Structure 1
Amino acid sequence: MGFIRVLTVFGTRPEAIKLFPVIHALEADHRFDNRTCVTGQHREILDQVLALAGIVPDHDLTLMRDGQTLDQLTARALTGIGQVLDAERPDWVVVQGDTTSAFAAALAAHYRKIPVCHVEAGLRSANTHHPWPEEANRRMISSFADLHCAPTQRAADALRTERGEGAQIHLTGNTVVDALEWVTQRIMQQPDLACGLAEWERRFTGRKILAVTTHRRENLGAGLINIARSVHEIARRSDIAVIFPVHPNPQVRSVMQAELGGRDNVALIEPLDYPHFARLLAISHLVLTDSGGVQEEAPSLGKPVLVPRETTERPEGIEAGTAKLVGTDPIVIEREIARLLDDPAAHAAMARAHNPYGDGRAAMRIGDLLAG
């Protein structure tokens, strides 16, 4: 019997983090011939993950252009990935999540009647504009996918409601847990991988660290300003420090620099590679983030998560008590941060809550499903 030829397609850092365990599993499995295609949707921060995971893409499309609109990016991704599919002729195309790269890859595969495996399938916020455009992307990918790898029971149930009981829907767990366990072990073996925060750790000794990330399109504008102002106000406290890896989007950077630049206890730093971000989560007291992936990662390390969004496609964390939606009203954000800083019982309740996102064996299960 010949190898099962798989083409794994991704373009952003979160995709790379959640797919490198799958790529590792496929490459270690004699049943597969795995090939990778990256779109370069997050160029520099994507390359950091590729280097860490030891992945050299077989195809690199470098699709990003300054000022490119979503429809322009989608069109370039669709035709570029289509050319790769015609050259590789895989048995399966594997995509993850809800990015433009994932949607374009699934659609290009569908046009060629190539089966699609959707990793982290079934997340739903019930609002196609929150998050935007991700909610629509993942719904459309689900309509093309042949194999749905659901990270949680809720996601699997949502897919069965939409696709029917005959669909190939499997509860695998979330590969982000696999990735975090892998990188944590690497840091233990090679501490230098995450030593770049040492200066801030020394400077902020004795303070509770608030880790902040924000980048969602629906928060650009007024939402982002409100998030920045809430952090500005909470940073008036002498018992905390803020470490904020600022997204490269100029719309994010300009707001954060204007509101938070120059404060002694606020570190506006460059985006972190994966080991350093794992280290930031480890040293933080709590996390304020609009990132979906961080809502899954932080609970694995026992860190409470406040989510400045109106909805989340990861309600399991809300239900389990590991995360809480706080919207973008600065008064609400400040109040909820202060509660977790000042109330040890409230902090402990979130820190000790059950992590609903998996056991670190999702990639192995996905490989077995692809093998049939």
Structure 2
Amino acid sequence: MINVIIGTKAELIKMSPVMRELQKRKVEYNYIDTSQHSQTTSKFRKDFQVKEPDAQIGGEKNITTLMQGAGWAVKTAARLFDLKVLKEKKGLSLVIGDTATTFLGAYCSKAQGLKVGHIEAGLRSFNYLHPFPEELIRLWVSKVSDYMFAPYAWAFNNLEKYPGKRFNTRYNTILDTIRYSLKKNRKPKGLPKKYCMITTHRFETIFNRKRLEKILGFVEQAAEQVPAVFVMHEPTRKRLIKYKLLSRVEKNENISIAPLMHYFEWIQAEKNAEFMMIDGGSIQEESYYINTPCCLLRNATERREGLGENVLISGLDGKKISGFLENYKSLKRKPIKAKFSPSSFIVGKILEMEKEWS
């Protein structure tokens, strides 16, 4: 039996085309939701046409604080070990990315004798602290994975020293999700005619007042040029309140604070934006596939999508960001014309190897 273990919004977004492909081929699988972002994922499942979880082992609220995360991790590990489907000693567990769910899903599956398949394998920043703890999770999961699905050649080559079988899927599965989402043509409401998109939520950003305040300065600089839509995550809002910085954003007439959007609306908003200033790796990938100029508010990235084309790693360097704001219209790349589906490729390979894991 195949087990699909996910828990965050990003994991569902990227794994949903794989799950739909399994359903399309009438392949049975167990969907295990660790409830890291349960409030959000519960709303998305119907829209992404994936089934309800066979096992939901967390709570009903999104994890938004470190204390909540610590308690959730301990409970989730215990419940994963107790799941009957993970005690069968045969089967394959699929995990994706670099989250706490990725680590716990791989660890608990491997400890109980199951094979592990890691989707989006081989990404590296080569810096243990940026991003933290994601880089450590990626390294460890590569060591224990039996099957590693890398999104492109650079990531594939990073996996050469590991014992598991490796495959180059050519693109990230998020490409299939973007194609699916754009077909829905669900346009967000209330956005200016011309705007830039802002969002920041990473641990190393929001838990560092000096860094977050510096980023706000760059956001204000961008908003002087193009009206800014700041899509705000709840943890970001809480830290801005704690640091007494939220009012600074609210009082700026050129910045509009927006709640998190449905993914179909978010993709349309990204597509139509003048540019984006973000700190998320998945959004970097999205910007590449939809060809929107993107300023990455980080020192390093584990992803290669868009670098040297439509994506700039700013390093929070004022000169680089000023240069981006002056020249963003020139940051475009050639569109992807291939109809190749990475999700279909992954499922095909899994079924080819069924005798190894069943």
What's the TM-score once normalised by structure 2's chain length?
0.88
The answer to whether the aligner puts 1:59 opposite 2:46 as a matched pair is no
The answer to whether the aligner puts 1:20 opposite 2:3 as a matched pair is no
Question: Could you say if the C-alpha distance between residues 231 and 333 of structure 1 is closer, same or farther in structure 2, counting changes exceeding 3 Å?
Answer: farther
Contact map agreement 2:18 2:343 (CA 8 A) in 1: yes
Structure having the larger proportion of residues in helix? 1
1:228 maps to which of 192, 206, 216:
216
Moved more, 66-75 or 117-126: 66-75
Counterpart CA distance in 2 for 1:245 and 1:213 is 5
Deviation at 1:316, TM superposition (A): 4.2
Instruction: Report what 2:167 is aligned to.
Output: 170
Q: Which letter maps to 2:279?
A: D
Instruction: Report what 1:198 is aligned to.
Output: 189
1:365 maps to which of 339, 342, 345:
345
**SS at 2:47's partner residue?**
helix
Paired residues, what number?
341
Deviation at 1:313, TM superposition (A): 0.1
Q: In the TM superposition, what whole-angstrom CA distance separates every residue of 1:309-329 from its partner, at most 9, and x where no partner exists?
A: 11100134314x221100224
Deviation at 1:359, TM superposition (A): 5.2
Counterpart CA distance in 1 for 2:115 and 2:310 is 35
**SS at 1:163's partner residue?**
coil
Moved more, 126-135 or 69-78: 69-78
Q: Which letter maps to 1:269?
A: A
Q: Which letter maps to 1:340?
A: N
Instruction: Report what 2:356 is aligned to.
Output: none
1:212 maps to which of 198, 214, 218:
198
Deviation at 1:369, TM superposition (A): 1.3
1:340 maps to which of 308, 318, 327:
327
Matches within 5 A, 1:176-191: 176-187=174-185
Contact map agreement 2:119 2:148 (CA 8 A) in 1: yes
Counterpart CA distance in 2 for 1:44 and 1:264 is 31
Contact map agreement 1:299 1:355 (CA 8 A) in 2: no
Contact map agreement 1:227 1:308 (CA 8 A) in 2: yes
Instruction: Report what 2:101 is aligned to.
Output: 101
Contact map agreement 1:298 1:304 (CA 8 A) in 2: yes
Q: In the TM superposition, what whole-angstrom CA distance separates every residue of 1:268-323 from its partner, at most 9, and x where no partner exists?
A: 1111110111111111011111111111111222211111111100134314x221
Contact map agreement 1:242 1:267 (CA 8 A) in 2: yes
Q: Cα RMSD (Å) of the superposition? A: 2.2
Moved over 3 A (4+): 63-67, 69-73, 85-90, 250-253, 353-356
Counterpart CA distance in 2 for 1:141 and 1:273 is 30
Q: In the TM superposition, what whole-angstrom CA distance separates every residue of 1:100-147 from its partner, at most 9, and x where no partner exists?
A: 011000000110110011000000000111111111111111111100
Structure 2: stretches of 5+ with no match in the other structure = 354-358
The answer to whether the aligner puts 1:282 opposite 2:300 as a matched pair is no
Contact map agreement 1:232 1:259 (CA 8 A) in 2: no
**SS at 1:94's partner residue?**
strand
Matches within 5 A, 1:1-372: 5-30=1-26, 32-55=27-50, 56-63=52-59, 68=67, 70-84=69-83, 86=85, 89=88, 91-160=91-160, 162-163=161-162, 167-172=164-169, 173-187=171-185, 194-195=186-187, 197-200=188-191, 204-205=192-193, 207=194, 209-220=195-206, 221=208, 222-237=210-225, 240-249=226-235, 250-254=237-241, 257-319=246-308, 321-329=309-317, 331-332=318-319, 334-340=321-327, 347-348=329-330, 350-353=331-334, 360-371=340-351, 372=353
Q: In the TM superposition, what whole-angstrom CA distance separates every residue of 1:17-50 from its partner, at most 9, and x where no partner exists?
A: 00000000011113x2111011111232222322
Moved more, 14-23 or 83-92: 83-92
Counterpart CA distance in 2 for 1:309 and 1:85 is 41
Q: Which letter maps to 2:248?
A: E
Deviation at 1:253, TM superposition (A): 4.5
Contact map agreement 2:21 2:343 (CA 8 A) in 1: yes
Counterpart CA distance in 1 for 2:100 and 2:43 is 20
**SS at 1:198's partner residue?**
coil
**SS at 1:211's partner residue?**
strand
What's the TM-score once normalised by structure 1's chain length?
0.85
Contact map agreement 1:11 1:40 (CA 8 A) in 2: yes
Question: Could you say if the C-alpha distance between residues 273 and 365 of structure 1 is closer, same or farther in structure 2, counting changes exceeding 3 Å?
Answer: same
Question: Could you say if the C-alpha distance between residues 327 and 85 of structure 1 is closer, same or farther in structure 2, counting changes exceeding 3 Å?
Answer: farther
Q: In the TM superposition, what whole-angstrom CA distance separates every residue of 1:145-183 from its partner, at most 9, and x where no partner exists?
A: 1000000100000001x316xx31000121000000011
Question: Could you say if the C-alpha distance between residues 155 and 355 of structure 1 is closer, same or farther in structure 2, counting changes exceeding 3 Å?
Answer: farther
Contact map agreement 1:213 1:289 (CA 8 A) in 2: yes
Counterpart CA distance in 2 for 1:360 and 1:339 is 35
Counterpart CA distance in 1 for 2:151 and 2:73 is 26
